[in-house]
Amino acid sequence: FIFDAAGGLVFEQYDFGAIALESRVRNREIMFMASVDLEGLPAGTYQLDIEMRDLNKGQSDIVGLPFTMAPPS
């Protein structure tokens, strides 16, 4: 999800990726890389929220990343 400075929803997409993790030990962290195309987004302040879901435990958490789009130069 991408929200503008006023909290308005600018963009949403569900189920854009899946990570399968198999391990014999309990993992406390995970790293992944995601690309988000921001072309055409007007200059301003935004927040990118990515929800991570653990399908085995039925739990989820949201990671928020504030960012600013500069005007074109």
Q: And the tokens for 51?
A: 């929800």
How many Å apart are CA 47 and CA 66, to the nearest integer?
4
Give the confidence band of 4 by pLDDT, cuts at 50, 70, 90: very high
Q: With contact defined as beta carbons under 8 Å apart, do 38 and 44 qualify?
A: no
Q: Which pLDDT value is given to residue 38?
A: 85
pLDDT in tens, 22-59: 778 877 777 777 788 888 899 999 999 988 888 778 88
- In angstroms, the Cα distances linking 10 to 16, 30, 32, 40, 61 are 17, 27, 23, 12, 20
**pLDDT above 80 for 20:** no
DSSP state of 31: -
